[in-house]
Amino acid sequence: MALELVLITGMSGSGKSVALRALEDAGYFCVDNLPPELLLDFTELEVRNGRRRVAIAMDVRTASSLPLVPGHLRELVHRGIAVRPLFLDASTDTLVRRFSETRRRHPLSKTAVETDGDQHRAVVEAIELERELLADLRERAHVIDTSVLRASQLQEYVKSLLSAPLAQLTLVFESFSYKRGIPLDADYIFDVRMLPNPYYEPELRELTGMDAPVIEYLEKIQEVQDMFADIAGFLDNWMQPLARNHRSYVTVGIGCTGGQHRSVYLVERLCAEFADRWTTLKRHREMGSRRASDAQA
């Protein structure tokens, strides 16, 4: 059995330590902030030690040597290592708030003492610089947007990704609420807010798109079925070309107003539709994050 290496990169404050803990709980040998120069030698050592699952976190603290990573990853694949690159991202506003709440300095901040206004501007500038430095790694990895995720949700997402076969393209369906923002990790976004809304049916308001009464309601509406057929047809046309382009993951976001009814229903149906042809995963970003009655789904 070949060594499986999960490489976690991403924005400072995006939750890399949370993801690393999830991997440690799942039985991975974890190393934080390994210098890129040591990646090949470290991996070779772990192979000799008979290790089977290793997770490594790298970030902008080793910015000067990050350009080495893509070449190292290609070499590891050539050596027969099963590599899973994972990139954690979040919106700039979210990252600024997290740094403010923890009172930590961004690794790329240049000044030691700043006024409140200068500090905010310095953090934003550091985050934008970090995005530029990490752009190549983000392009090569599966992205998870942690902007509105709780730690437990992120841990669940990471563990679910590990359950998918590495050699196959994995199709990830994600429902979300437009009121909480478009997920940064989606490759394709479908807006279904124009469809009839079960929220306005009093007996359906507290339910979700996984409950039988909501399913029955939506299945009777031709617009909903047309939307399902259009999204499924689009994916049918383009999944094979994406697979030929060596994509490991394709994330499809389905958004409605509150992320509780229409988007959840369509994600469930699409996941079932494609499960016999592709490895599929599903996420309901807003489920469990608040009460259904708080959302206009």
62 is an annotated ligand-binding site residue = yes
Q: How far apart are the first and last CA of the chain?
A: 46
The answer to whether 192 is a known ligand-binding residue is: no
On whether 25 is known to bind a ligand per the annotation, the reply is: no
Residues 6 or more apart from 36 whose CB is under 8 A from it?
Answer: 58, 62, 65, 66, 68, 69, 72
Do 218 and 227 form a contact (C-beta atoms < 8 A)? Answer: no
Strand order in the sheet with 53-57: 29-32, 53-57, 4-10, 82-89, 142-145
* 253 annotated to a ligand binding site: no
Integer Cα distance of 284 and 289 in angstroms:
10
179 assigned ligand-binding residue:
no
1 labelled ligand-binding: no
Residue 17, marked binder: yes
Check the annotation: does 282 bind a ligand.
Answer: no
Report DSSP letters for 141-154, one per residue.
Answer: SEEEE-TT--HHHH
> Does the annotation list 115 as a binding residue?
no
13 is in an annotated binding site: yes
Helix or strand or coil: residue 57?
strand
List the binding residues for GTP.
Answer: 59-62
List the binding residues for ATP.
Answer: 10-17
List the binding residues.
Answer: 10-17, 59-62
